[in-house]
Amino acid sequence: MKTRIKVIINGKICTGRAGQTLLEIAQNNGIEIPNLCHNGELKHYGGCSLCVVEAEGSPKLLRACSTVAQDGQVIYTESERVVRTRKTSIELLMSDHDGDCRGPCVLNCPASVNAQGYVQAIARGDDKEAVRIIKERLPMPACIGRVCPHPCEDGCRRQMVEESISIAYLKYFAADRVIQAGGYLPPKAAATGKRVGIIGGGPGGLTAAYYLSLKGHRVTVVDAMPQMGGMLRYGIPEYRLPKRVLDEEVAEIASLGVEMKNNFRIGRDVTFEEFKNSYDAVVLAIGAWESMPIGCPGEELDGVMGGIDFLRQVAMGEKPAIGDQVAVVGGGNTAMDACRTAVRLGAKEVYVVYRRTEAEMPAEQLEIDEAREEGVIYKFLTNPAEIIGENGRVKEIKLQVMELGEPDESGRRRPVPVEGKFETLPVTCVISAIGQKANVAGFEGIELNRKGIISADETSYRTSMPGVFAVGDATNQGASIAIEAIGEARRCAKVVDLYLNGMQVPYQKTYLSVKKVSPEYFADYIKLPRAKMPTRPPEERKHDFQEINLGFSEAQARAEAARCLDCGCHDFAECKLIRCANLYELQPERIERIKGNGKGKLHPSYKEKRLVAIERDQGKCILCGQCVRMCDEVVGKGILGLVGRGFDTTIRPEFQQSNVIRECVDCLKCAEACPTGALRIRENELEE
Ligand code: SF4
Ligand code: SF4
Ligand code: SF4
Ligand code: FES
């Protein structure tokens, strides 16, 4: 008998030994055939059908893991029929799968920062690891931990027990400790010789600079302001983000070799064309620095100013003449920053004029409450009708009284004027904080959108100019929170790196499994209160610009992090199932349809609670039987079995049963064999 055989796979001549399976020969010749239930240590089983291939002359598809190859056989591993069959198999598996690939906190973060990962690291006392995890996605954790309105916390599942984890402040805690201990920077790749110019040194520009520099590119950031930091420096007051914290994180980025040039304005110091020609790629991160006008008569009077301009002047050490009575118009975080800054500058009465009610305010509740504690007076359901002056200076503001009508497109109830009802406030200054927009002067030639700001592709960040990319507040939807710009900038840096290496970005929306849970699921969890950030008392803090938060104590931070439910799957990076799901571009809508839109019959999903060193999550089990066969064929114990028939098949006995506990040798081979996250080695169990 011939010992060497040849098989033609996808047109490639592959050699192997007689007796080998098609899967073995393909793998040995560098051809990937997806598989879930195959394991080289075990006998062939053939359950998942993912490894099917098409053989010339065979009407049936063959399972590559259990089909012995024939000399001269012609095989296709990615034919249309094969792909369709595999896709159906994975769809069926995923439609009966109940697990969270990623924690809800991670999914809710615009920059996809692995909040679960760093919260868990903080719980273990490993702050450096926490910062390492954060910096995979976000290079300025001490700043962002202080100022981010934390959408991650809005998604946090701990709310089903009582309150969300204080994720942002934990980031601030770990980042401060690591900075005090000398900081952390990941290793940098060798120099590529490519040059990238970044316009704008705010959170977006600095993030792009950080990740492109780590890739070995020579990066220069230019900025029109005297120092780097953008809105973090000139738009966020010192009492929320001390400049020394920002300086430390900017210096860390500069230490990677990023060249930083301030007081550098495109259109004045160089033309955009000249700048562009000096680099292999350019990233625009110019931000939105112009306040939107209120749009009522009297706006031209002295004493009316934009919120961003006001905050910038204060950040630059100027003392704008605001007088004793200040009205801040708007309900977002800039309005909160402006009113609290006005209090600190000594204004006696500071009003916030907002056309809806407190419930609709976009500002964070904490900011609203803290401003109130500092004496800010809210004028809800009012809107400026006219700013009245005397000798060219503001004297009064006439407010139209409003009421809430029907919901608008945003779902919030629309404010409508109450006819003939007005109120007048004596004021010395009016600050407009109703939004901001980008100034694109100097960037002529770049395509703008209907809003008059830069049009950039939402997944590749390309602009209409080759080699020019754009992120952040000056693009597409306009101004948003810093973490949005940071998320875009990191993804953009990835695209720019590929571009500099002559590659295109393949865009594919990642398919993820999301667990369905309700508060009942957590009914027996002990309720633990969320840690409260210690702050300086209002009477003291309202007179100065020193930071108002005092930071978590170590004991507070560790206890707070330990509340985390560790929602996302421990196996996400290794899981073969989710890898296959994405290889075959599964559509969430189709999975929902197969599930019967919540009406279909699914296997019960539960976690076995008291176990040996292994924990099993039934919702993630695909019944591939590898754990059972591993325990039997390799370990020789045969403790586990696949019991029941058809739909009711399950693994028995459960790991907490006495016969398992008695017989199990804690070899962990079953967990290692599991292709999904269904079996987990319990870390604390191993440490004991
Ligand atoms: S087992 Fe795989 S598919 Fe399931 S939740 Fe974990 S990573 Fe996602
Ligand atoms: S409990 Fe932990 S893992 Fe779950 S969403 Fe909250 S922070 Fe993330
Ligand atoms: S628990 Fe066992 S049967 Fe279930 S997916 Fe893991 S290895 Fe397969
Ligand atoms: S049937 Fe071949 S790997 Fe599952």
Each domain of the chain, given as residue ranges in start order, spans: 4-92, 104-185+512-562, 198-267+437-500, 291-435, 603-687
Give pLDDT tens digits for 62-85: 999 999 999 999 999 999 999 999
Asked: is 4-92 a CATH 3.10.20.740 domain? The reply is: yes
The number of the ligand 4 atom at minimal distance from the alpha carbon of 35 is 3
Give pLDDT tens digits for 615-671: 888 899 998 989 989 988 998 888 888 877 777 777 777 666 667 777 788 888 989
Q: What's the token pair of residue 120?
A: 């868990």
CA separation for the pair 641, 287 (Å, rounded): 60
**Which residue type is seen at 151?**
P
Q: Please report the pLDDT score of residue 608 as a whole number.
A: 61
Considering every ligand atom shown, identify the ligand nearest to the alpha carbon of residue 563 and give its number: 2
Instruction: Choose one of 105, 109, 150 to mutate for the ligand 2 pocket test, by most ligand atoms within 8 angstroms of C-beta.
Output: 105
Checking if the pLDDT of 610 tops 70, the result is no
Give pLDDT tens digits for 179-209: 999 999 999 999 999 999 999 999 999 999 9
CA of 98 from ligand 2 middle (Å) equals 17
CA separation for the pair 360, 286 (Å, rounded): 30
- HSE-CB for 314 with a 13 A CA cutoff: 26
Give pLDDT tens digits for 106-143: 999 999 999 999 999 999 999 999 999 999 999 999 99
Distance of CA 19 to the CA centre of its chain: 49
Instruction: Choose one of 572, 602, 615, 617 to mutate for the ligand 1 pocket test, by most ligand atoms within 8 angstroms of C-beta.
Output: 572
CA separation for the pair 355, 148 (Å, rounded): 25
Q: What's the token pair of residue 525?
A: 């969890």
Considering every ligand atom shown, identify the ligand nearest to the alpha carbon of residue 677 and give its number: 1
- HSE-CB for 587 with a 13 A CA cutoff: 5
CA of 160 from ligand 3 middle (Å) equals 29
Checking if the pLDDT of 688 tops 70, the result is no
CA of 64 from ligand 2 middle (Å) equals 40
Please compute the mean of the pLDDT values over residues 241-263 and round it to a whole number: 98
CA of 578 from ligand 4 middle (Å) equals 16
Q: Whose CA is nearest to atom 7 of ligand 3?
A: 674
Ligand 1 touching residue 616 (CB < 6 A): no
- Please state the φ and ψ torsions of residue 679, each to the nearest 5 degrees: -110, 130
Ligand 4 touching residue 347 (CB < 6 A): no
- Options 2.40.128.110, 1.10.357.10, 3.50.50.60, 3.90.1300.10; CATH for 198-267+437-500 is 3.50.50.60
Q: What's the token pair of residue 660?
A: 């398992």
CA of 77 from ligand 4 middle (Å) equals 13
Sign of CA dihedral 154, 157, 161, 164: negative
Instruction: Choose one of 626, 629, 660 to mutate for the ligand 3 pocket test, by most ligand atoms within 8 angstroms of C-beta.
Output: 626
Do the domains 198-267+437-500 and 291-435 sit in the same CATH topology, yes or no? yes
Sign of CA dihedral 584, 588, 590, 594: positive
Per-residue HEC secondary structure of 371-390 comes to: HHHCCCEEEECEEEEEEEEE
Sequence-distant (6+) residues with CB within 8 A of 687 are none
On whether the CB atoms of residues 224 and 285 are closer than 8 A, the answer is no
Provide the 3-class DSSP secondary structure of residue 569: coil
- HSE-CB for 670 with a 13 A CA cutoff: 31
CA separation for the pair 185, 464 (Å, rounded): 34
Ligand 4 touching residue 675 (CB < 6 A): no
Domain topology for 104-185+512-562: Fumarate Reductase Iron-sulfur Protein; Chain B, domain 2 (1.10.1060)
CA of 438 from ligand 3 middle (Å) equals 54
Q: Please report the pLDDT score of residue 505 as a whole number.
A: 72
Element (H, E) at 15: strand 12-17
The DSSP code sequence of 229-269 is -THHHHTS-TTTS-HHHHHHHHHHHHTTT-EEE-S--BTTT
Sequence-distant (6+) residues with CB within 8 A of 491 are 459, 461
Residue 536 burial (C-beta neighbours within 10 Å; 0-12, 13-18, 19+): middle
Considering every ligand atom shown, identify the ligand nearest to the alpha carbon of residue 34 and give its number: 4
Q: Whose CA is nearest to atom 3 of ligand 1?
A: 578
Strand blocks (E) in 64-204: 74-76, 195-199
Query: Which has the minimum average pLDDT: 11-15, 170-174, 542-546, 649-653?
Result: 649-653
Considering every ligand atom shown, identify the ligand nearest to the alpha carbon of residue 586 and give its number: 1
The number of the ligand 2 atom at minimal distance from the alpha carbon of 563 is 1
CA of 383 from ligand 4 middle (Å) equals 66
pLDDT band at 685 (very low <50, low <70, confident <90, very high): very low
Task: Specify the pairing of strand 436-437 against strand 290-291.
Answer: antiparallel
CA separation for the pair 399, 379 (Å, rounded): 9
Checking if the pLDDT of 44 tops 90, the result is no
Query: Which has the minimum average pLDDT: 289-293, 585-589, 670-674?
Result: 585-589
Q: Cα–Cα distances in Å, from 614 out to 96, 187, 669, 670?
A: 22, 35, 10, 9
Please compute the mean of the pLDDT values over residues 41-52 and round it to a whole number: 87
The number of the ligand 2 atom at minimal distance from the alpha carbon of 566 is 3
Ligand 1 touching residue 513 (CB < 6 A): yes
Strand blocks (E) in 365-520: 377-380, 382-390, 393-407, 413-426, 429-432, 436-437, 468-470
Q: CATH assignment of 603-687? A: 3.30.70.20
Considering every ligand atom shown, identify the ligand nearest to the alpha carbon of residue 23 and give its number: 4
Q: What's the token pair of residue 659?
A: 């016969």
Query: What integer best gives the mean pLDDT of the chain?
Result: 92
CA of 459 from ligand 2 middle (Å) equals 27
- Options 3.90.1150.10, 3.50.50.60, 3.40.47.10, 3.40.50.2300; CATH for 291-435 is 3.50.50.60
Give pLDDT tens digits for 359-407: 999 999 999 999 999 999 999 999 999 999 999 999 999 999 999 999 8
Checking if the pLDDT of 612 tops 50, the result is yes
Q: Which residues pair with 535 in a beta bridge?
A: 549
The DSSP code sequence of 294-312 is --STTTTSBTEEEHHHHHH
Sign of CA dihedral 558, 560, 565, 568: negative
Ligand 1 touching residue 101 (CB < 6 A): yes
Sign of CA dihedral 11, 15, 16, 19: positive
Sequence length of the chain is 688
Distance of CA 525 to the CA centre of its chain: 27
Distance of CA 126 to the CA centre of its chain: 21
Q: Which of 141, 33, 68 is nearest to 584 (CA)?
A: 33
Tokens 């005297």 correspond to 226
The DSSP code sequence of 107-128 is HH-TT---HHHHHHHHHTT-HH
Ligand 3 touching residue 627 (CB < 6 A): yes
The number of the ligand 2 atom at minimal distance from the alpha carbon of 157 is 5
Residue 180 burial (C-beta neighbours within 10 Å; 0-12, 13-18, 19+): exposed
Ligand 1 touching residue 325 (CB < 6 A): no
On whether the CB atoms of residues 352 and 339 are closer than 8 A, the answer is yes
Tokens 């040194």 correspond to 201
Cis peptide before 653 (omega within 30 of 0): yes
Checking if the pLDDT of 686 tops 50, the result is no
Higher pLDDT, 232 or 640: 232
Q: Whose CA is nearest to atom 4 of ligand 2?
A: 567
Please compute the mean of the pLDDT values over residues 508-533 and round it to a whole number: 91
Ligand 3 touching residue 623 (CB < 6 A): yes
**Which residue type is seen at 345?**
L
Provide the 3-class DSSP secondary structure of residue 17: strand
Give pLDDT tens digits for 568-601: 999 999 999 999 999 988 877 877 777 766 666 6
CA of 515 from ligand 1 middle (Å) equals 10
Q: Which residues pair with 507 in a beta bridge?
A: none
The DSSP code sequence of 319-383 is -----SEEEEE-SSHHHHHHHHHHHHTT-SEEEEEESS-GGG--S-HHHHHHHHHTT-EEEETEE
For the chain, the straight-line distance linking the first and the last C-alpha, in angstroms and rounded, comes to 55
Q: Which residues pair with 282 in a beta bridge?
A: 197, 468
Q: Whose CA is nearest to atom 2 of ligand 2?
A: 564
CA separation for the pair 436, 338 (Å, rounded): 14
